[in-house]
Structure 1
Amino acid sequence: MRNDPQLLLNTPDIEIWPGGLLRARSNHNARLLAQASHVLRRKCDGRYLAAQLPRGLMPLITRLPEAPGIEHALSVLDAHLSQPARIPPPQGELPLHHLQHCLDHLGLDSADYAAQTGLWLIPEPAHLVLAGFDRYRRPLWLTRPAARSWQRMRDAAAASGIAMDAISGYRSHDYQLGIFERKLARGLSVSEILTVNAAPGFSEHHGGNALDISAPGEPPAEESFEHTEAFTWLQQHAGDYGFHMSYPRGNPYGIVYEPWHWCWIGIS
């Protein structure tokens, strides 16, 4: 049986987390999560659906077989557990058809939005690796090459006396929709939100290669980051590790200046 504690398996509706990384919401769940090798977590609301235990699968909701996407998620988990640990999981991306409900909810047409902004649809990866933890001690998920490059870049900066921390990495399409829903509840319009956040499906964070970076003591995702030593170091050295700043001033996508947002594109 395979047990890879640092791999997030991804499906359109459900994420399959390795055990030991998710916070329990009750004493009962805490006991189960402490024993679980994997936990199935619904993407739209973060609810835990089931835990894979040594004795078998333990449902964490009633009527688990009726949960959307559960059969597919269980087949992905079964295939992963039966794969020898020495064989890496296959690369791949999730289909985009699940994204449409997010855009419909916001009244957005993907083709129109792409034409207006120059942004493009970004599928979610079929799996991501643990790249450490962010400032808030949350697991930081990235693609394997982006994770390696981030760790090398952070260590190189530290060797030069520059401290950097990650604010966020991979975000699902559903997570991006949640950002919009929270801001809509505060009274912002969709058009106002789109000046700061890309529409679901169009954020570089979906692909698992983008990072929001900050420095200790610096507020997250603020323009003031450009005045830090960490930002100066990134400008000089990030390209050596395959990272570039996606949204400089005057970028053609209509996104505000984001000196904190860096994306791994590889080294040419």
Structure 2
Amino acid sequence: MRRHPRILINTPDVELWPAALLRARGNRDARILARARHVLRRKRDGRYLAADLPEGLMPLLPRWMREDGIDDALDALDAIPVHTRSGLDRVGTLPPHRLHERLEALGIDADRYAAHTGLPLIAEPDWLAFAGFDRYRRPLWLHVDAARAWHHLRAAAHRDGVVLEAVSGYRSHAYQLGIFERKQARGQRVDEILPINAAPGYSEHHSGLALDISAPGEPAAEESFEATDAFAWLTANAEGYGFRMSYPRDNPHGIVYEPWHWCYRPP
């Protein structure tokens, strides 16, 4: 049987994952995932909704058909064969989905935030390419152009004796909102979070073009990364592969210095 390319199909509320890349959350899930082609996964919390089996859809969550956006997800599932036959170089974007509602829940005025930071609103891609695994053995999803560039960048570094590890790639608007909610639950205020995490809808990670990079033995997302051989190599070579550090010291966006955050910007 011909295997579909390993891509993540994106819809506003639900992601369609290749089942082989998901971890089973129990014996029942393991049996189902072993036979499934795709899994419908809720974006806001990662819950598995249903599995696409050769004989049809298998529920993994009660009342999954009542989930927000399920019709869009089923339409996308039906279109996968057409999508993969028509080529994997054309990447569309999703319209912002309930974004203002999410920002208002955080007390963020979108227009004022955009004017203050100079950060653009960033749409999510309608599909992403599998770019290997990050340092935690999680699937790394990137825009197809960034995935190719990351492969070449990492290989070039390896030839020079430098190991680059991906820590984080694509994040949805819903995932970014979850970062804020988890930090608020730990007692942080939104104004304390914003210099470290861009507001939902404004993170470069939404585009699938951005990567957080680290090195073996180095903690993730720490300023100490700038003292590593990996950072020195990136500084000297990354631009030749289309990657640039987005948030240097004293950047105009009000984001803290992030030597680990690099974004693919083709010429």
**TM-score, scaled to structure 2:** 0.96
Q: Distance in 1 between matches of 2:224 and 2:239?
A: 21
Q: Within 5 Å, which residues of 2 pair with 1:60-79?
A: 60-79=60-79
Distance apart, 1:33 and its partner CA: 1.0
Distance apart, 1:23 and its partner CA: 1.1
**Is the CA contact (8 Å cut-off) linking 1:12 and 1:98 kept in structure 2?**
no
Indicate the larger mover: 96-105 or 18-27. Answer: 96-105
Q: Distance in 2 between matches of 1:25 and 1:53?
A: 18
Q: State yes or no: 1:251 paired with 2:237.
A: no
Q: Distance in 2 between matches of 1:264 and 1:89?
A: 16
Q: Distance in 2 between matches of 1:59 and 1:140?
A: 26
Q: Within 5 Å, which residues of 2 pair with 1:157-176?
A: 157-176=157-176
Indicate the larger mover: 168-177 or 17-26. Answer: 17-26
Give, as a single letter, the amino acid of the residue that structure 2 aligns with 1:94. Answer: L
Give, as a single letter, the amino acid of the residue that structure 2 aligns with 1:265. Answer: R
Q: Distance in 2 between matches of 1:2 and 1:9?
A: 18
> 1:109-142 deviations in whole A, cap 9, x for unaligned?
2111001111111000000000010000000000
Q: State yes or no: 1:198 paired with 2:231.
A: no
**Is the CA contact (8 Å cut-off) linking 1:102 and 1:173 kept in structure 2?**
no
Could you say which residue in structure 2 is the equivalent of 1:6? 6
> 1:73-127 deviations in whole A, cap 9, x for unaligned?
0001101134564633742000013322321221112111001111111000000
Structure 1 pair 101/34, CA: closer, same or farther in 2 (3 Å)?
farther
Q: Within 5 Å, which residues of 2 pair with 1:220-259?
A: 220-259=220-259
Could you say which residue in structure 2 is the equivalent of 1:107? 107
Q: Within 5 Å, which residues of 2 pair with 1:103-142?
A: 103-142=103-142
Indicate the larger mover: 232-241 or 103-112. Answer: 103-112
**Is the CA contact (8 Å cut-off) linking 2:89 and 2:144 kept in structure 1?**
no
Could you say which residue in structure 1 is the equivalent of 2:31? 31
**TM-score, scaled to structure 1:** 0.96
> 1:28-86 deviations in whole A, cap 9, x for unaligned?
11111111100000001111000000111111122222111001100011011345646
> 1:156-188 deviations in whole A, cap 9, x for unaligned?
000000111000000001110111111101111
**Is the CA contact (8 Å cut-off) linking 2:49 and 2:64 kept in structure 1?**
yes
Structure 1 pair 17/129, CA: closer, same or farther in 2 (3 Å)?
same
Q: Secondary structure at the match of 1:97?
A: coil
Could you say which residue in structure 2 is the equivalent of 1:154? 154
Structure 1 pair 102/246, CA: closer, same or farther in 2 (3 Å)?
same
Could you list the runs of 5+ residues in structure 2 that have no partner in the other structure?
Answer: none
**Is the CA contact (8 Å cut-off) linking 1:214 and 1:220 kept in structure 2?**
yes
Q: Secondary structure at the match of 1:39?
A: strand
Structure 1 pair 143/103, CA: closer, same or farther in 2 (3 Å)?
same
Q: Distance in 2 between matches of 1:4 and 1:211?
A: 25
Q: Distance in 1 between matches of 2:260 and 2:59?
A: 40
Q: Distance in 1 between matches of 2:128 and 2:203?
A: 17
Structure 1 pair 34/89, CA: closer, same or farther in 2 (3 Å)?
farther
Could you say which residue in structure 2 is the equivalent of 1:53? 53
RMSD (Å) for aligned C-alpha atoms: 1.4
**Is the CA contact (8 Å cut-off) linking 2:48 and 2:60 kept in structure 1?**
yes
Structure 1 pair 171/83, CA: closer, same or farther in 2 (3 Å)?
closer
What percentage of residue pairs aligned between the two structures are identical?
62
Structure 1 stretches of at least 4 aligned residues deviating more than 4 Å after TM superposition? none
State how many pairs are aligned.
267
Q: Distance in 2 between matches of 1:237 and 1:197?
A: 26
Indicate the larger mover: 97-106 or 27-36. Answer: 97-106
Could you say which residue in structure 2 is the equivalent of 1:211? 211
Indicate the larger mover: 28-37 or 128-137. Answer: 28-37
Q: Distance in 2 between matches of 1:23 and 1:101?
A: 32
